Amino acid sequence: MTISGNYFAGVDVGSLAAKSVILKDGEIFATGLVQSGVNSVESGLNALNLALETAGLKKEDLTYIVGTGYGRVSAPYANKAVTEITCHAKGTNYLHPTVRTIIDMGGQDCKAIRIDPDGAVVDFAMNDKCAAGTGRFLEVMAGVFKVKLEDLGSIALSATDTVPMSSTCTVFAESETISLVARGEKPENILNGIHHSIANRIAGLFSRVGIESDVFFSGGVAKNSGMKTAIEQALKVSIVKPEIDPQLIGALGAAVIARNFAKKEGLWV
Amino acid sequence: MGKQLFRYSEDNKAKFLESDNITFNDGSVVTPEEIWDYLTVEGPVKYPGTYEINLSQGNRDSRDETLPTSLKTHYLSLTFSARMEKAKKNGKTIAFIQGGQAVDPYTAADTIALRPFLVGQWYHGREHGNDIYKSVLRRKQSKETAFHDMSFEACQTGGYEHVQVGDLPIDVVAPYTVLRCSDVSYGVEAHRHGPNKDVKLINVDFPMRHQADKPWAIEYFARNLKKLVKTLDEARGKKTTEDDLWRAIRLHNEGRRLGTELADLWWSTDIPPTNSDDRNSLVALANLDMHGDVQASLSVLKEAKKIIAERVKNGVKGHAVTDNPKRLFILGSCVGINESRSEDAGAIVVGKDDQWSHCTSLVEEEGDPYYNLAKATLEYPYEQSIEKRAQWTIEQIRKSRADGVIFIHNWGCNTQAAVSRPIVDFIKRETGIPTYIHERDLHGLRDEQEQNRVNAFIEML
């Protein structure tokens, strides 16, 4: 196979997953998604190699690579590192130019991001010290109910009621959940309450940065349909349907930024 | 694998040797040659951590070696612990105070006033040969012990812990008790009920909400300042006169004037004449308490002002400062960002409100010195109501031409946590400048999470 054209890659190494996107001629050419390990260099490379393999490319074929996510500082394969807040903004704007507000929920943090029509960040807020409101929180809850993480959302959506839950702290919520189970509350109602408590926490972040339509939900937790519904209710908005796996948005943004850097540095005309 | 250490280059030695001496409280003098020897021979052996090239802790592989006062503040910092030991041995009284207060009455009573950070620096400086990682672990250990003995709900209680267990020969715990820190109340209470009864405690109390417009409030605080001086006199066995206090006020006013003039010079040009670290370490000298020796601080500050004026005149850009950096103003008590990494990301710190408002508050030099001192303290802008503090902060932000404001508060710093949101909202509403609030763990190994947020903010700007 003959390789031609300019290829730009974005690699997003998060706390739970490493993702990569390769762009060719302005189109998504290949993607990679692997679980993050202890070694963030290795995790990023695994994600990148997966996308390269899918595309039939070698690393040398890439014109520019941008690293993002918590592993971006340990990304010797990348030409530059950019924070995932900027990358989620660019990635969302690339796919959905009408979006002005992004909710990004990843493994260890959640972010409220406001962007302008060019995809530049106007304001943002993040959770500070606690895992409540993040993917890790949902993982803990999946463990409590002994269900698969990916099934949490659909179970919550089957609820007939919403049990009010604490969104203060993962540990408090876990203990509260165990008490509720012992009292005979239905698991789906408790899970529904958990999703709504997270959504309320996110709504608090938006009190700082504001909301403007359209609204997009990115990150691994965006695949959770129960979370999407709870956020829509908490923020009283309708969330734009993603065109690709929302977990890849950060990596996509990094690839878009890679293309911009390459142009700026004269590597691509 | 050994740690890579920064070394001062011999290329700059000749120029440095032409710079000024440092004069200390006891009249002793240290020459640039002695400073150079210390920084290049003794310092790296005793404190390798401060020479370590380690981005996560903010060290660069190069520093501004052409800025003599940068080397001198480094010297004062490295010799701090040994100087405190020596001062104590020579019979000097040492008081534990809190951050955010001026130290004029302590200077008048010939007493070294140490804030919690400096108490920690004294204690940790006693142990030599530590790399950055070991130093951080030691500080964390102090904090954890204080959590155990006092409270998990307070930030900087490590200093009180060192007093409680008798790690350091502090003579008196004597903070102003209604200033900004919530942890001071935990510390004072812990000391009141703690095992170390040998260390005297005095609360220099003043009215809630400061009320500097009410004579009774000023008089009440002035009476407390008199009690403070009396307590310090009992500790040292000598009486402090009003003339001593006037001398101290004039000396500290000189420091405050030099500090604000230096800051104004720095802000007067579009080309930052120093990097963030050098700016902050020089401006911080204005309170004269930073290195446990008011005269030493004053002599470095005087020299720094001359150098900065020269740099501004000649359009010299500070070491490692990028072209057209985004200008950040940092708010909050006992906080700062990783300056070198933030500079690498295209920013520069142009100001901080911490330890700054009392440098901008001069004490009147005629009348009753206690009354004047009390009045100036009650007027500190940082300690006023949210709106007044925010208005003063906006003035500083405008003077510094900051592009963005970051408010940081430590876990357990309940006062700053409570006021952070309304203050940044006020600033945002009045100026339109982007703001960001961040909560952090004091002495935690949380660099990446924090830097991630700071870098995102810089990218946004």
Confidence band (pLDDT; 50, 70, 90) for B411? confident
| pLDDT given for residue A72 in this prediction | 78
How close A124 comes to chain B (CA, Å)? 8
Residue B395: Cβ within 10 Å count: 12
Domain boundaries, chain A: 1-96+248-269, 98-242
Residue B24, classed as helix, strand or coil, is coil
CB contact under 8 A, A85 and B448: no
Residue pLDDT, tens place only, B229-238 = 999 999 999 9
How close B446 comes to chain A (CA, Å)? 10
* Residue B441 forms contact with A (CB below 8 Å): yes
**How far is Cα B92 from Cα B103, in angstroms, rounded to an integer?**
16
Cβ-based contacts of B439 with chain A (< 8 Å): 128-129
CB contact under 8 A, A128 and B438: yes
Nearest to A70 among B434, B452, B457 (CB): B452
Residue B143: which domain range? Answer: 91-211
> What percent of chain B stands above pLDDT 90?
64
Cβ-based contacts of A129 with chain B (< 8 Å): 411, 439, 441
| pLDDT given for residue A128 in this prediction | 65
- In this prediction, residues B314-333 reach a mean pLDDT of 94
Cβ-based contacts of B438 with chain A (< 8 Å): 128
**φ, ψ for residue A258 (rounded to 5)?**
-60, -45
CB contact under 8 A, A121 and B460: yes
Residue B449: Cβ within 10 Å count: 19
> Which stretch of DSSP H or E encloses residue A76?
none
Interacting residues of B65 by C-beta distance below 8 A, sequence separation 6+: B8, B9, B12, B16, B71, B319
Higher pLDDT, A154 or B186: A154
DSSP classification of residue A239 = B
DSSP letters, B142-189, are HHHHHHHHT-TT-S--HHHHHHHTTSS---EE--BTTSS-SHHHHHHH
* HSE-CB of B226 using CA atoms within 13 angstroms: 12
Minimum Cα–Cα distance from B437: chain A residue = A125
Find the radius of gyration of the CA atoms of chain B. Answer: 21
Residue B205: Cβ within 10 Å count: 15
Residue A184: Cβ within 10 Å count: 6
Residue pLDDT, tens place only, B290-306 = 999 999 999 999 999 99
* Residue A83 forms contact with B (CB below 8 Å): yes
E-only strand ranges, chain A: 7-13, 17-24, 27-35, 62-68, 80-81, 101-105, 110-115, 121-126, 215-218
Does residue B429 sit within a domain? yes
**How far is Cα B267 from Cα A21, in angstroms, rounded to an integer?**
44
**How far is Cα A171 from Cα B356, in angstroms, rounded to an integer?**
39
Of chain A residues 52-81, which have a CB less than 8 A from chain B? 70, 73
Please answer whether residues B396 and B367 qualify as being in contact, where contact means their C-beta atoms are separated by less than 8 angstroms.
Answer: no
Task: Report how far apart, in Å, the C-alpha atoms of B21 and of each of A48, B39, B72 are.
Answer: 57, 15, 9
| pLDDT given for residue A112 in this prediction | 94
A37 burial via Cβ count (<10 Å: 0-12, 13-18, 19+): exposed
**How far is Cα B70 from Cα B50, in angstroms, rounded to an integer?**
14
CA-wise closest residue to B301 among B285, B281, B277, B279: B285
Residue pLDDT, tens place only, A147-168 = 988 899 999 999 999 988 876 6
Does residue B265 sit within a domain? no
Confidence band (pLDDT; 50, 70, 90) for A3? very low
Does residue B431 sit within a domain? yes
Does residue B384 sit within a domain? yes
> Which stretch of DSSP H or E encloses residue B95?
strand B93-96
How close B252 comes to chain A (CA, Å)? 39
Give yes or no: residues B207 and B334 share one domain. Answer: no
Residue pLDDT, tens place only, A179-209 = 888 889 999 999 999 899 888 888 888 888 8
* Residue B453 forms contact with A (CB below 8 Å): yes
Residue B63, classed as helix, strand or coil, is coil
Of A112-121, B28-37, B52-61, least confident by mean pLDDT is: B52-61
Name the residue with tokens 């940790």: B124
How high is the ipTM of this complex?
0.74
Higher pLDDT, B61 or A236: A236
- In this prediction, residues B257-278 reach a mean pLDDT of 96
**How far is Cα B397 from Cα B329, in angstroms, rounded to an integer?**
7
B370 burial via Cβ count (<10 Å: 0-12, 13-18, 19+): buried
Question: How many domains does one find in chain B?
Answer: 2
Please answer whether residues A200 and A167 qualify as being in contact, where contact means their C-beta atoms are separated by less than 8 angstroms.
Answer: yes
Cβ-based contacts of B436 with chain A (< 8 Å): 124
**How far is Cα B183 from Cα B223, in angstroms, rounded to an integer?**
24
B208 burial via Cβ count (<10 Å: 0-12, 13-18, 19+): exposed
pLDDT exceeds cutoff 60 at A4: no
Give yes or no: residues B202 and B331 share one domain. Answer: no
Interacting residues of B291 by C-beta distance below 8 A, sequence separation 6+: B73, B76, B77, B80, B83, B285, B297
Name the residue with tokens 């969330």: A239
Residue pLDDT, tens place only, A248-266 = 999 999 999 999 999 998 8
The amino acid occupying position B256 is: R
Structure tokens at A7: 């290829």
CB contact under 8 A, A126 and B439: no
Number of H helices, E strands in chain B: 19, 10
| pLDDT given for residue B219 in this prediction | 95
* Residue A211 forms contact with B (CB below 8 Å): no
CA-wise closest residue to B148 among B87, B92, B190: B190
How close B427 comes to chain A (CA, Å)? 14
> What percent of chain B stands above pLDDT 70?
96
**CATH number (domain holding residue B431):** 3.40.50.11900
Cβ-based contacts of B449 with chain A (< 8 Å): 70, 109
**φ, ψ for residue B310 (rounded to 5)?**
-65, -40
* Residue B257 forms contact with A (CB below 8 Å): no
| pLDDT given for residue A132 in this prediction | 65
In sequence order, which ranges of A17-151 are alpha helices (DSSP H)? 40-55, 84-95, 135-145
* Residue B459 forms contact with A (CB below 8 Å): yes
- In this prediction, residues B423-429 reach a mean pLDDT of 95
As assigned by CATH, the class of the A98-242 domain is: alpha beta
Distance of CA B260 to the CA centre of its chain: 15
CB contact under 8 A, A85 and B456: yes
CB contact under 8 A, B448 and A73: yes
Pick the CATH number of A1-96+248-269 from 1.10.287.1120, 3.30.420.40, 3.40.640.10, 1.20.1600.10: 3.30.420.40
Looking at B211, B244, B269, which one is the last position of a domain?
Answer: B211
**How far is Cα A109 from Cα B376, in angstroms, rounded to an integer?**
44
How close A72 comes to chain B (CA, Å)? 10
Does residue B313 sit within a domain? no
Looking at B176, B192, B211, which one is the last position of a domain?
Answer: B211
Cβ-based contacts of B453 with chain A (< 8 Å): 126
| pLDDT given for residue A1 in this prediction | 37
Does residue B192 sit within a domain? yes
Confidence band (pLDDT; 50, 70, 90) for B425? very high
E-only strand ranges, A78-234: 80-81, 101-105, 110-115, 121-126, 215-218
* Residue B411 forms contact with A (CB below 8 Å): yes
* Residue B439 forms contact with A (CB below 8 Å): yes
pLDDT exceeds cutoff 60 at A2: no
Residue A29, classed as helix, strand or coil, is strand
Name the residue with tokens 């052996």: B45
DSSP letters, B394-436, are HHHHHHHT-SEEEEEEETT-HHHHHHHHHHHHHHHHHH---EE
Mean pLDDT in chain A?
89
CB contact under 8 A, A123 and B460: yes
Angle value at C-alpha B281, between B278 and B283, nearest 5 degrees: 105
| pLDDT given for residue B258 in this prediction | 97
- In this prediction, residues A33-38 reach a mean pLDDT of 88
DSSP classification of residue A121 = E
Minimum Cα–Cα distance from A125: chain B residue = B436
Does residue B409 sit within a domain? yes
**How far is Cα A96 from Cα A215, in angstroms, rounded to an integer?**
10
Confidence band (pLDDT; 50, 70, 90) for A82? very high
Angle value at C-alpha A120, between A115 and A123, nearest 5 degrees: 50
Does residue B228 sit within a domain? no
Looking at B153, B184, B211, which one is the last position of a domain?
Answer: B211
CB contact under 8 A, A129 and B441: yes
B216 burial via Cβ count (<10 Å: 0-12, 13-18, 19+): exposed
Same fold, A1-96+248-269 and A98-242: yes
Structure-derived torsion over alpha carbons of residues A51, A56, A59, A63, reported in degrees to the nearest 10: -90
- In this prediction, residues A35-47 reach a mean pLDDT of 89
Structure tokens at B424: 């940044």
